[in-house]
Amino acid sequence: MRALPVDVVRALIAIVDCRGFTRAAEQLGRTQPTISLQIRRLEELIGAPVFDNTARLTLSPRGRIVLEYGRKLIAAHDELAEALRRQENTTPSVRLGLPNEFAAFFAPGLVDLANQRGAAFAFEVTCDQSETLIDRVRAHQLDMALAMTSPEDAHGSVAQWTMGLSWIAAPRMVFDADTIVRLVTPPEGTLFYNIASGALARAGRRFEIVCKSGNPDVLRSAVDAGYGVSLAPTSLAPKGARLLPETLLAPLPNVTLGLYARDRSLESAGEPLLSHMIALLQSSPALAAA
């Protein structure tokens, strides 16, 4: 068997972690046809299909082997590339992941920290779905990340906070017990999609998904326009949004906000940021009740 290029192995990992070809292409900055071609190339190299069922992303025996060892290969490759990059860069750079909902909230605190440290500090911020951020920390593609999970999935975090959720809608949107709920949601497989659809199903409420997007601006615009209802952390609900009582739709669980760091010890630039983020969260009015 010939050597496996890093990019085709990375494509497989992205498809599995992102739960689909489209989201994998978005994460890697490629087109979906390019990702499909990379998988076909991988199949040619290993002499077997990667998936037993492509629609359900069921891996073949050889696909599972490539995924298992490929994660180690990509982690080692990225650590090597990062070590070389840091060697060239005199200003240590910290790679930070934030859920889309927290980006605006944390930006001022990060800028304050950078100003305090001057030229000795730099940071790179990635905003994405929580599930993707955790995967990227574990793959050493991020130094640390904030991410929301269900309480039972919050293992491995450095610090944790509990957050309540609320249904949100445009101020003048009208509901009654017989109304089919029009749901505005992130893609399937994400935390808020699973919580919203599961809560409505358990409550016996009929619903239809009228807007589905990984872009928070699209979701916010759909809610503002009265197109449907969505979920948001109660303390971070958009200004002007109407918080609906659970009795009107369905009860909602709490979620856990966790701060995750990569396995090995953080570089000197990372440790102050880790402490700074914990202090920022502890003092935040948004988490005062946590």
Q: What is the pLDDT of residues 227-284, one digit of tens each?
A: 999 999 988 888 888 999 998 899 999 999 998 887 544 544 455 667 777 776 766 6
pLDDT for res 264: 47
Asked if 75 and 140 touch (Cβ cutoff 8 Å), the reply is yes
Question: How confident is residue 154, by pLDDT bands cut at 50, 70 and 90?
Answer: confident
pLDDT for res 200: 94
By percentage, how much of the chain surpasses pLDDT 70?
82
Average pLDDT of the chain is 83
Q: How many CB atoms lie within 10 A of CB 263?
A: 9
**Confidence (pTM):** 0.64
**pLDDT over 90 at 207, yes or no:** yes
**pLDDT over 50 at 153, yes or no:** yes
Q: Who wins on pLDDT, 21 or 91?
A: 21
Would you list the DSSP string of 13-54?
Answer: HHHHHHTSHHHHHHHHT--HHHHHHHHHHHHHHHTS-SEEET
pLDDT for res 3: 80
**Domains with residue ranges and CATH for the chain:** 6-75 (1.10.10.10), 89-163+256-287 (3.40.190.10), 165-253 (3.40.190.10)
